[in-house]
Structure 1
Amino acid sequence: MTPTQTGMAIGAVLAITWAAFGFWVFVGVAVAIAIGALVGRWVEGRFDPSSLIAAVSGRRSSS
Structure 2
Amino acid sequence: MSPTVLGLLTGLVLGLAAAFGGFGAFVVVAVLGGLGLLAGRALEGKLDLSQLMGRDRR
Question: Matched residues in 2 for 1:9 and 1:33: separation?
Answer: 11
Q: Distance in 1 between matches of 2:41 and 2:3?
A: 15
Query: Which residue is 1:20 aligned to?
Result: 20
Residue 3 (structure 1) shift: 0.7
Runs of 4+ in 1 over 3 A off after TM superposition: none
**What is the RMSD computed on CA atoms of the aligned residues?**
1.4
TM-score normalised to the size of structure 1?
A: 0.73
How far, CA to CA, are the matches of 1:25 and 1:2 in structure 2?
26
Shift in Å at residue 48 of structure 1?
A: 3.0
Measured in 1, the distance between the counterparts of 2:42 and 2:5 equals 22
**Equivalent pairs: percent with the same residue?**
45
Alignment of 1:12-51 (within 5 A): 12-49=12-49
Unmatched segments (≥5 aa) in structure 1: 50-63
SS of 2:14's equivalent in the other structure is helix
Using the size of structure 2 for normalisation, the TM-score is 0.79
